Amino acid sequence: MYDFTIIVPVYNEEENLERVEKELLAYIAIATKKTSILFVNDGSKDKSQELIEAICQRNEAFNFINFEANRGLSAAIKAGFDHVEAPLVGYIDSDLQTAPEDFNLLLQHIGEYDLVTGVRANRKDSFVKNISSTIANGIRRAFTSDGMDDTGCPLKVIKSDYAKRIPMFKGLHRFLPAMILLQEGKVLQVPVQHFPRVAGTAKFGVWNRLLGPLMDCFAYLWMKKKYINYTVKSKG
């Protein structure tokens, strides 16, 4: 029924979810593809699941997956990839520091490319957060040579067949463009809007922005060396 499904990972975001509903409904009305929403509740301990179920009951295009326990952002994204049925899948954080309407900017290019990611222009984060992200992106780019300036940007569109082949593990959400390149796909980055967080609390600090990506780079190098890639020429 849908051409495009947006994954929204949720972890203790009860203060944001009504705003998320409003913003995503507004986007669906102007979307260039017929769009559905898939919440992935990553074991929230607040009232997030109660709110998600209410949102889904009153909106036909909204669905959810609810984890038994918190498993992290990479697991939430992986679950979304596994369950999506639309040919295109998107991803946005539930803090809405990026704008859903900017999905239309990314969708303009998805025909030629297999992943299109946002680049947060004029970031509205703290100085420490911006510096730690800049350093982490520099480290990751040196290891992967993916040419991406901001893989942490929580606004992406991917062709679903590529997304479903990504062998995700904890922390690999930072390497989505590199994992598409391993499949000999094409990636592109496009400037998008960025806004300060207005409710809830950030789930990542300085240390897991720096040490986590550094350790994950070595996991990526191992995977790149061992990655199996093939193309079927014919069937009979």
Q: What is the pLDDT of residue 203?
A: 53
The residues, ordered by sequence, that sit 6+ positions from 107 with a Cβ below 8 Å of its Cβ are 4, 32, 33, 88, 116, 157
pTM, two decimal places: 0.84
Q: Delimit the domains of the chain by residue range.
A: 4-226
pLDDT tens string 8-34: 999 999 999 999 999 999 999 999 999
> What is the arithmetic mean of pLDDT over 212-217?
74
- For residue range 143-190, list pLDDT tens digits in order: 777 778 787 788 999 999 999 998 877 777 888 998 999 899 999 999
One-letter identity of residue 34: K
pLDDT in tens, 81-102: 999 999 999 999 998 999 999 9
202: confidence class by pLDDT, cuts 50, 70, 90: low
CATH number of 4-226: 3.90.550.10
In this prediction, residue 174 carries a pLDDT of: 83
Mean pLDDT of 48-57: 97
Q: Which two tokens stand for residue 24?
A: 């995503």
Q: How confident is residue 207, by pLDDT bands cut at 50, 70 and 90? A: low
- Cα–Cα dist 64/62, whole Å: 7
Query: pLDDT-derived band of residue 64, with 50, 70 and 90 as boundaries?
Result: very high
Class of residue 164 by CB neighbours under 10 A (exposed 0-12, middle 13-18, buried 19+): middle
Higher pLDDT, 200 or 191: 191
Residue 115's pLDDT is: 97
Contact 65, 79 (CB under 8 A): yes
173: nearest Cα among 27, 71, 101 = 71
Residue 66: pLDDT over 80: yes
Pairing of strands 35-41, 62-66: parallel
- Residue 115 structure tokens: 């992943």
Give 99-152 pLDDT, tens digit per residue.
999 999 999 999 999 999 999 877 655 555 666 666 666 677 767 777 787 877
pLDDT at residue number 211: 67
The enclosing H or E element of 150 equals none
Both tokens of residue 50?
């109660």
CB 183 within 8 A of CB 162: yes
